[in-house]
Chain A
Amino acid sequence: MPAISLTINGRAHGPIEVRADLSMNDFLREVLGLTGTKFGCGAAQCLSCAVIVDAGDGTSATMPTCVIAATDFDGKAIRTVEGHAKDGALTPLQQSFISHFAFQCGYCTPGFLNEGQVLLERLEKAPIPRAELERTVTEALDGHLCRCSGYVKYHEAVRDVILADPGRFLT
């Protein structure tokens, strides 16, 4: 069996032997017990399983874990929902999700949180005009399914973090 090593929420894991066809989702949930990352469809359609992958060049992107083998994450650094808050201090996006009542059942929340965080970090590096904000948020979150919320409050929560600090995210 191949062995993988990776960094999750800043902590090194591995080398750990895994089946070549073990999904990353099952690696996180069954092997490591990190169940904050959810399983929704197993077909990369709902993205409740998405985690953040931090590339070496300082950029980040979300990636579904349900259809990708754990071995594909060998050597990578990822962040999951469990890693956003530091020492109990919630991030502005977590705070915004809460104060906007963004989610209901909360099962899709880890995916939305990861996607929203990636967007914030992207805009911090490459701010956009105010006029493009709503469209940008919609496009960024559109891969994620939510059955409870109608998306309105999720979008408002992400948008309002950006509007609260326009010098950081907007041109």
Chain B
Amino acid sequence: MTEPSRRDVLKWSAAGGIALSLSRLPVAMAAAFDDTQTLPGRARPNPAAAGHGRIDAVAKVTGAKLYVSDFRAADMEGWPATTAHALLVRAADATHVLTGIDLGALDGDLKPTVVVTGQDLAQAGLKGPPFYAGDLLCPVGTTPLYLGQPAALLLFERFDAFDRARVLLREKSPLVFGAETGALARPNYAAMRFTRVAGPTPDAPDVYSPLMEGWISPGVFEAGGRPVWQPLPIAEGGQYKKGATYGEAIRAGIAAADPAALVLDRSFRTQSIDPMFLEPECGLAWYDPKARALRLALGVQSPLEAAEALGDMFGAAKEGVRPKSIDTRFAHLGGGFGGRDHTPFPLYVALAAIFLPNRPIRLAHDRFQQFQGGIKRHAFDIRSKVAFERATGRIRAFAADHVLDGGGLANYSASVAVVSATSAIGAYDVPKVDVTTVAEHTRGVTAGSMRGYGVVQTTVALETLMDEAAAALGIDPVTLRRRNLLKTGGRSMAGNPWTVSVRTPELLDKMEAHALWRGRAAAKAAAPAGTLVGTGLALCVKDYGTGADCALGRVELEPDGRVRIVCDAVEMGNGIGTAMANRVAQYLGRVADEVSVARIDAFGALGLVTSGDPYTITQAAQDKAAKNPRWVPAISSATSASIGAHVGTQAAGEAARILLRFGLWPAALAMWGIRKNDPRRFLWEEAYWQDGMLIMSGLPPLAQPDLAAKAHAMGALTGTMAHAFSRWAWAQAAFPLDGFNWAADLDALAVRRGKGPFKVLDRSFVAFPPASYNRIGTAFVSGCGTLVRVEIDRASGAVRVARGYSVLECGHALAPEVVRGQAHGGFAMGLGQALLENLPPFEDGPGNGRWNLGDYVVARGSDLPVHALEVEILPPVAPNEPPKGMAEVVMIPVVPAILNAIADATGKRFSALPVTPDDVRRVL
């Protein structure tokens, strides 16, 4: 995946002499804020202790201050008490030159204390990090780069002035535009081609694959920026030429008239949608000019990225506006869905504080502003060509072209393009694949990360094509899918096998056997007059992880047995705190009493350093860097890409395992009186927890608090702090512990004995996953199948999803009720994408600042089969199967299943989203 190198970020903040608070002890104000984010908190009961609720549940039903939007200066210990307010003015025009900012409407009391413009930023040497290429504030004299680009930051000392100005400026923008320039042209974000030609047999090596030859990009573009996909006879781009030659041959093969093949050539369009997390983006900051200390409270999915981006922005700033230290704290999120991963919003919060020094200031989007400025899902145009063997139903070859609208600000567009390509053949085994994908720069609102990115769009195309092919071939839709499934050990389109359990046959079996599917003909026949009934299904596999994911986890055991977990993962509703507590409880016999999330500051003892870009590092560079025992490929990841269960809990889980082995287990041996030469001292994995007691066959059960007290008393481990890194496989390292050279799926470890401080251990051995794994598109996948029944009103064309069934597999479900809830929520979001939600591009879209709920329709309870939605979670393949990510995969098959059900009901196929009642009525 492509991402600007972190090296630049670290270099800039280091050059600026800025200390990012990644390893300092919390100051008083931060400690108080952290208390609010540590749940359930000492004063509240913990429903998670007995599995009867989430760790954060009591705080959330009692209205506790939890989200960053709940905090004001007066809530922050050590801050001045009053809060100032900032207003970000965004451009609703990206085709005319910005000629001025007319604040004449704000007279008297309404006048902002400070107006910050693009010119001010330029004079101050303030510039956005490379990831968010483009001006932070559009300078006067320039055409805005995209709709919704900020052009001015207005700072108000009083809430009333801010509040009235906000309403006035919504009605009449202060931005003045002059001559028409048209949209600014910028290079597209990415243009890639993924081609694979399998060998003659499944066991034979591939003839050509991205894994073997590397990922390729054409390197030749038309004047308008569109890539030239043909293998041009030019010297440069030879590597591209080889892949493209195979790709064009695949396309020629599909196009060749062959009566033995069914060829479908179809176009699809998927729309832009808003993540619509319910808490609009917000942040609070205070710049203390005397101490040159910038303090912030933020709510993002990517805390380390946000902290580093701030360091980067100030790195080259002039003396007067460059803080010496930046201390950033992170709150629980009122939803995320990807839209708060790598968001530029925190940069504006920091700017507000810097330009109104000594005054705590709050920047908060209202919903109009969130629609205008928040990150969106990419709209896609897809053209798919697929050839099936008529005799067998097997897919012979597949080609597709994806065009993504990335909007005007660089974000995750390149990654979304790649993911869309590597997911284009879904759960299936296709010997010849050729996919081109281009993420275009447009003047549209920024598109970036959103739940299921790249895969939602391509699965809609693929799974509706599968149904159409099944009908054309006279093969049952489940049978056609089953015949084409990629089997365990088979190669994905990047050329690598999936390295986790592959459960797609079971998912198909479950759907095929379900009463909803078996009763589809009867339901259709029994449709009341004026109603059309249809049933549809779809299957999806979705990668979890990005290929460079990491986790920080700290587990502490108190003498009374209480367990405290601190982690860098963010709680945005995903239940990470509860999942983390449950995973740790497997080892420590007690669900955590406190979980503190989104903490990147609590791991200083590990002394981690990093360099290079984990996605592009060479093997030689990795080998060299790994010689430093403190080096890791990356320090902290965003909580995204469904990594919560698998990655997010890994460091704390492994830390807890070590705490059991070198803390509670030695305590148990001592309490049982087992001596040094007794072979039972190595049987720690045979002991298990039951009702807070450690059970070992033939020995008296031991109470967890007694063990904890003993561990403290005898100087055994009472705390572990760990870092884990995954590049489609865990980094492994060995650490010196009590005379052992202890190996774990971790790459850094610090331990605490008794009440002592954490001390880092030098790893005696480390094996990072090879750099060549960066060529893998997807190695970790989980699957979900969805079955829906729709009822369509002939007169109005309204589609009602009457029943639903989703079956999913996620390995060990750490918090099954959270998993079930995610599946329900995924169903609702999938239904919204299929039938309700739509953001038009450009001037009619959210960039114009006039969009809100009401125009934008999100599924309500009455839109859903709330009382007829069944979710089944397959049990893990083995008791020790690790958790697999599932939060994205559960929304994806819902969309094509609904389209397939509509086709079953109406006999008409829809290929553009959303399918509205008008669309349906037109074809009936």
Cα distance A94–B850 in the bound complex, in angstroms: 36
A22 to chain B, nearest CB (A): 7
Q: Is residue A106 within 8 Å, beta carbon to beta carbon, of the partner chain?
A: yes
Interface pair A113/B61, CB less than 8 Å apart = yes
Closest B residue to A107 by beta carbon equals: B334
Across the interface, A150 reaches (CB within 8 A) one of B61, B277, B333, B828, namely B828
Interface flags, B262-301, vs A, CB<8A=1, else 0:
0000000000000111111000000000000000000000
User: Which residues of B in the span 49-65 have a Cβ within 8 Å of any Cβ on A?
Assistant: 52-54, 56-65
Inter-chain contacts of A43 with B (CB < 8 A): 367, 852-854
Cα distance A39–B624 in the bound complex, in angstroms: 51
Interface pair B57/A145, CB less than 8 Å apart = no
Inter-chain contacts of A150 with B (CB < 8 A): 821, 823-828, 864, 866, 869
Cα distance A3–B99 in the bound complex, in angstroms: 43
Category for how many chain A residues contact B: 35 or more
Q: Is residue B795 within 8 Å, beta carbon to beta carbon, of the partner chain?
A: no
Count how many chain B residues have C-beta atoms less than 8 Å from C-beta atoms of the other chain. Answer: 69
Inter-chain contacts of A35 with B (CB < 8 A): 63, 65, 69-71
Cα distance A143–B65 in the bound complex, in angstroms: 24
Interface pair A147/B277, CB less than 8 Å apart = yes
Q: Is residue B42 within 8 Å, beta carbon to beta carbon, of the partner chain?
A: no
Inter-chain contacts of B366 with A (CB < 8 A): 39, 42
Q: Is residue B345 within 8 Å, beta carbon to beta carbon, of the partner chain?
A: no
Cα distance A101–B47 in the bound complex, in angstroms: 10
Interface pair B853/A46, CB less than 8 Å apart = yes
Interface flags, B623-638, vs A, CB<8A=1, else 0:
0000000000000000
Q: Between A and B, how many residue pairs show CB distances below 8 Å?
A: 195
Given contacts A26-B159, A41-B852, A145-B860, contact A106 B56 (CB under 8 A): yes
Q: Is residue B862 within 8 Å, beta carbon to beta carbon, of the partner chain?
A: yes
Inter-chain contacts of A36 with B (CB < 8 A): 62-64
Closest B residue to A140 by beta carbon equals: B861
Given contacts A98-B47, A98-B58, contact A104 B575 (CB under 8 A): yes
Inter-chain contacts of A153 with B (CB < 8 A): 820-821, 824
Q: Is residue A90 within 8 Å, beta carbon to beta carbon, of the partner chain?
A: yes
Q: Is residue A62 within 8 Å, beta carbon to beta carbon, of the partner chain?
A: no
Inter-chain contacts of A134 with B (CB < 8 A): 866-867
Closest B residue to A85 by beta carbon equals: B62
User: Which residues of B in the span 40-95 have a Cβ within 8 Å of any Cβ on A?
Assistant: 47, 52-54, 56-67, 69-72, 74-75
Interface pair B160/A41, CB less than 8 Å apart = no
Interface pair A98/B53, CB less than 8 Å apart = yes
Interface flags, A125-156, vs B, CB<8A=1, else 0:
00000000010001101111111111111110
Closest A residue to B277 by beta carbon equals: A147
B668 to chain A, nearest CB (A): 33
Interface pair B65/A48, CB less than 8 Å apart = no
Inter-chain contacts of B824 with A (CB < 8 A): 149-153
Interface pair B825/A99, CB less than 8 Å apart = no
Closest B residue to A91 by beta carbon equals: B61
Across the interface, B61 reaches (CB within 8 A) one of A26, A80, A98, A107, namely A98
Chain A residues near B (Cβ < 8 Å): 19, 21-22, 26, 30, 33-43, 45-46, 48, 80-82, 84-85, 90, 94, 97-101, 103-110, 113, 134, 138-139, 141-155
- For this complex, 14 residue pairs linking A to B, each with C-beta atoms less than 8 Å apart, are A35-B71, A80-B63, A94-B61, A101-B53, A101-B54, A104-B818, A106-B61, A109-B60, A138-B866, A142-B862, A146-B278, A147-B858, A148-B335, A149-B824
